[in-house]
Amino acid sequence: MATAYTPKNILITGAAGFIASHVCNRLIRNYPGYKIVVLDKLDYCSNLKNLLPSRSSPNFKFIKGDIASADLVNFILLTESIDTIMHFAAQTHVDNSFGNSFEFTKNNIYGTHVLLEACKVTGQIRRFIHVSTDEVYGETDEDAVVGNHEASQLLPTNPYSATKAGAEMLVMAYGRSYGLPVITTRGNNVYGPNQFPEKLIPKFILLAMKGQPLPIHGDGSNVRSYLYCEDVAEAFEVILHKGEVGHVYNIGTKKERRVIDVAKEICRLFKMDPDTHIKFVENRPFNDQRYFLDDQKLKNLGWFERTIWEEGLRKTMEWYVSNPDWWGDVSGALLPHPKMLMVPGIERKFDGPDVNNSSSYAVENHTPNGMVVRDPKSSPSAQKPTLKFLIYGRTGWIGGLLGKICEKQRIPFEYGKGRLENAAQILADIQTVKPTHVFNAAGVTGRPNVDWCETHKPETIRTNVVGTLTLADVCRERGLLMMNYATGCIFEYDETHPLGSGIGFKEEDKPNFIGSFYSKTKAMVTPPLM
């Protein structure tokens, strides 16, 4: 067996979702020496409350953003020194994939491709764990006694599983073409606390809590294998440390249950008569009869299922009974055939205590959230998402140069008209320009030199400190990415950075030069912005 792997800085995508949040909380709890950075765009099935056990930990950081944003992903990998990625982010509800499969392609294939390309470019990733699904194997024969093993053919039968299989092909290709250290997992159905109730078990539990009938697609003879969330989180813990690069691992269980039997067991837990509280409804377009996995390879690493079905189902029921409002109004998800829940631009907000600002920040994604195919006869051709920059500092050398670069690259931009210390004027600029990014190249440097600042301290601090922080605050409130152009004149040679040694200052080093008022004002804003 290969030597155990020890990560340092882990990026977990989709970590406010169901499975990934349990994995994140487990790693935070068991490995205080690991830095865990989580990235999630907070769509309908994500909830920051899922990460409450981790939020107060000093080694935890939450970032709101989309894996489809290449700039954001590269920024995170570099600034957080990420060496390990656990890629959970995906659209996963099969029913939704029949309604808008393009959304699944964008999230599951394109998003994965962006991550892989960032890994290739940065060249610093030592493990890339790609989370796939048992559904890529397609339907298992009803009479099969041996489950699909990791080398079995991929035969997806629905749009969701097809996008997951496509993502796997990209992962495998990057592993072979560029030597990316990839590991892929394929898991059975997972259940437990925190799961959004579009999935069968939490949906049935919430309906039973209301005394409403449980809808069964088709005749309920479909067979599924269910694993408790904590057992699955432990499986990922084992794969992270003991999994071999280039390998695939099934996460499964030999215990199978018919959907109708699951419904009957939940009825019994709530002392409901299955004959009167189970309703058979129209089946989905294609509903695989069975998924059956051979998980011996994972067991060889030392993992085994700990939670028996009866115990896990009881724990899950008790959790939902104790937390009926965890997801807010989910009446739409509880319908027999829910409408599309992936509403563009609407994200589930954190409705518990505020997340600690010292360990989190948000980046708004401005690419379209939905993809719609229109009639080419009645609609203009689709346009690529565009950038638009709002630049402050028009009269300065850097601000002027930024404008010239934008013109050369044909990137739409406008210079800000408002004064930086005036939040209302900045907000007016943003509402007028509607930028995707804000660049601050404004600053008082003094004319003809910085000595001017020594006798004009109010003017200097008004722009360099108050103005910069006001702009940053407005951008934060509007979810805009702001880039601030600072200066290296906040450092001076010292014992650890002697003149001529070639030892330079790093981005995280604290300013140590206050020999001029100009440098002092620039140093003032560095800690708040970081």
What positions carry a catalytic annotation? 134-135, 160
Cβ neighbours of 283 (radius 10 Å): 13
Q: Are strands 214-217 and 189-191 parallel, antiparallel or unpaired?
A: unpaired
CA gyration radius, the chain: 26
Cβ neighbours of 273 (radius 10 Å): 9
Are residues 133 and 186 in contact, defined by beta-carbon separation less than 8 angstroms?
A: yes
Q: Considering only CA atoms, which of 227, 229, 133 is closest in space to residue 185?
A: 133
**What is the helix (H) or strand (E) element at residue 104, kind and residue range?**
helix 101-104
The alpha carbon torsion through 361, 367, 370, 374 (nearest 10 deg) reads 170
Q: Considering only CA atoms, which of 100, 118, 245, 111 is closest in space to residue 172?
A: 245
The alpha carbon torsion through 278, 279, 280, 282 (nearest 10 deg) reads -140
Two tokens at 489? 């004149």
**414 CA to centre of own chain:** 31
Q: Let me know the angle formed at the C-alpha of 237 by 247 and 176, rounded to the nearest 5 degrees.
A: 25
Are residues 188 and 227 in contact, defined by beta-carbon separation less than 8 angstroms?
A: yes
Render the burial of 408-424: b for 16+ CB within 10 Å, e for the rest: eeebebbbbebbbbeee
Starting at the edge strand found earlier in the chain, the sheet holding 389-392 runs 413-415, 389-392, 437-440, 481-484
Calpha distance 102→113 (Å, rounded)? 15
Calpha distance 79→77 (Å, rounded)? 6
Distances (CA, A) of 468 to 83, 343, 418, 441: 33, 35, 13, 10
What is the end-to-end Cα distance of the chain in Å, rounded? 42
